[in-house]
Structure 1
């Protein structure tokens, strides 16, 4: 692993990454900057184009570690850029986009043309933009949009910058080669990972979970009630292993250490079987009977990653022997399984998973009330989301037929 320190869209970012990680993958999977699109992944189509130290760069073939200490600007970082705003409006007027997949890279490259070419002809623009491919438009609207922005800016007295703010020769980010070399020379500090049985568990990367800038893609709330006193429920929630065992497919790789824990969760969606392995930070507040679980994990088979936060509070229910638990859930899912992350679908799935969790929780609390430890096996150990999807599809068909017959 290499420590990468770069500036992305005006914010300093540091992370441990594999040396082979490409800049586009780092931005999309670690920072959730999905405006940078991946097309050919060979540096040919231009969909992944962004700015490194102000220079258009193919991020799909640029190693992230080669950009150590560089200034990286993605399409998200150009929201308030004057040239980009004018190009967006011109692309709209001239019908310079259709499906939009190539558009982020097109805009970045077009911005460079507007910035450095004084009065380009149609031929000049086509040559300059030849590294950005579009399967939809035929390029006529794109060329007209760029010509229009160049013409309007020159008419306002805004001159071109011949070198486009390029201050050095060599590949993008090469001006920081000294910083990269210095980093490479420093010996890596080895840390012994904790032992779990005969296997070695991955070290807990707690620092990576404390990113205050992270915002989940999807957030929602859920509540449920169990027929047990508040004190019993709150005490049980202190048993992280017991709580994890209530969640189908979840298990811990060892005992929690200072609120940090390694674990995994298995999910099956039809023929797709994923096993997310990761870490979590767990905090509790006895005064308010509330807590948080912040976790991150990755499934090696599908190369999907997830990060999430669960906030919970335990309250007195309507009856003396009832407890209400309120949940706030936020998460981000990237990779091949991101197709299942639509908020409506996930909320329905989460509601059903929570129903299974409550069933297991009720059973364990009943065992504890009868003198058990609460570590007894869960009633439902596995969860097949594929079967759940089929049930949801059947419910949808029933609702559709109900609506149709009501109209008649």
Structure 2
């Protein structure tokens, strides 16, 4: 953080456990710290503070979220529910009783986050499927119980509720959260509308901020920008982007389901992070601005069984390149990631994966425009690079903090 922001505080208005709250926080303050240190809601526990252990899980606009990875400043207008706010909740009460009955807790440190994650499973899963329950709880770590009692407790509550005729929530019956919320909308929620983002004036490229703003109405958990050059004119590149099938052929791991429409497409994207693989199937809306040579793709998808889900948006601009007859493609990416893959979806690793996908896409795009063959493959992140990222990220953060203190 620069010296100019060190003493700055944000004024926030949000709803916490059904009560309107107005408070202040520094831009760097995480939601977990705000709840514990400012609002004295210590039921939200802090463990790894890297979004892996799940101890800090709470509900943000009705969906489970990691409080240690969520900036308080991103929660303006959000509805936050901590474990304290579920005292009178019917499902949470049934889960607490089942946890006691099945001896599903020992030290209890993971229990608040575990209960909130389990409550989401009780709401969503149509039946007491042990495999899906274990997958759904994969982001909540327990060092005491071995999970047997926890899984048995969750299975019992789901089976008992379905036996009473209480069905799982369908996507259509769920209430869409405010905008998309910091953790993203439920899978299947219609993408919110909005105007096409304005393409930056090429003359002002030098003064453009490092990150092009994602349009209002979409509030992803993470955003980043990437750009790549193509040795073909901007008009030819943008024209190819209008051919959905051609773009899918250039995108590693992408496959279409049937013939795409000009403004909508259905298909899948295969992604592999080390030993973990997923094929996200879903649909996306497509918008294009011919005059500005800009476009936007917004979509949602989930892997088989709905264990992991993602929602995101890519806004792009095709600009003149550094040399005549070349183009520069700028991508502004915003995304959310939920489920087992979310614990591996730290921003640095996702950017690494996105960088590899973008580089391969650029090569395939060049081949397509040149009339050459395109190799077939999926999006892959080398496990060694994944491990190095996990080891080096804390060092990079400490170095950045040290440099900020020196400025």
TM, length-normalised to structure 2: 0.48
Which protein is bigger by CA-based radius of gyration?
1
Instruction: Pick 1 or 2: higher relative contact order, CA cutoff 8 A, min separation 6.
Output: 2
